[in-house]
Structure 1
């Protein structure tokens, strides 16, 4: 994740996060659902595919860029990530991509080459972790080409104890996502609330098990991909998620498409 330094970095240990959760994140049906929604959003509205250069901001362990590369979504790929562990894992998964360790508020010299670089960008379930999402998105905008398409996903619905444990400051409504992007200097093309009904049911299980999930994390169980029962449940939801609504007032997965505002 490409994030702020200082208090935020102390609160969110992303090296530890990816060391603990790399396997379980890859098996998570919610991640698979988000990736499908992002791919659809990048292809929508007559977008030219392959795009020239795709940047994943908060690229984590590289799972989305694996999918994008398999889909032939772009000619070049890059990822910004705060965690050295995430970059190490991602570089092995997508050796043709360029991964840079970036704190967007204090970018390293290596990031300068990516100013105005991306013809398309993804920021998936990242800004709920930052204290100032508007400033974060303003910083991100500097790496986009003038007419680049940004696909932003953020969680909606209530936070669980587990969400709070992994650093979620807030969850988003359609209106809050739109307002945040507009305040950061983006023109918003669409904001969809995806996931009803099966993703909502999945999230309700997370909410109900919130404190137990935290204990599983502390015991190291999550890093192994969870128990056999957990894997069975995740597999069942993975089969149901393709039947979720792509947009509904009841959806709990926010998917926004925006472009840098011409000023």
Structure 2
């Protein structure tokens, strides 16, 4: 009959071995804060990267770029930040955060969408095709909040360019991020919404009505940067891979294009 102390010692040994195995499962960890519009594509890219680098654990946090930037300034641990516009990357640096290897990663387009069963004909939103007449008396147009969400900021710029901002502003259904605006259209809560073309492609519940002219708003680019004074080798390696041909190929499958270097 074994001693209870021997049994206890064996149990502790097995427990310690289990903990050691768990801690060694991932040699490195990289935390990525990214714009909500990247969720599907970045998840797929991370999955491919971890298949190639099984010793690295990549954790992703998605929110509007403004929320993600504020979370980082508020103390959230982040190794990489990918914003949906330059403004919030600039703001993060202005708050004293060290941004390393900053560069433009991806490009996107601004899209007008409707619920899947909408009978609205496709068109290009421009000065000859106004949006307000398409809304009923009590209907609204879904956008990311133009006060802070990049997709909403781009939408406001497009509306201003087309001369409709004053009329459309009180008719907006403002969402906390672009995926929130997409959901309002998917659920039929609104007849129209403005999101990125990649959001429209990712959803089976909406129809792409048309893309806004590229000259109606500034170029939609997604800057990427390492966060912190001493970025880890694992974070640097992931940042380099995301910008590589292999990484960009994943994003292109989801409708993004590589940012054009100026």
TM-score by length of 1: 0.30
**Which structure exhibits the higher relative contact order, with contacts defined as CA atoms closer than 8 Å and separated by 6 or more residues?**
2
TM-score by length of 2: 0.30
Compare CA radii of gyration and give the structure with the larger one: 2
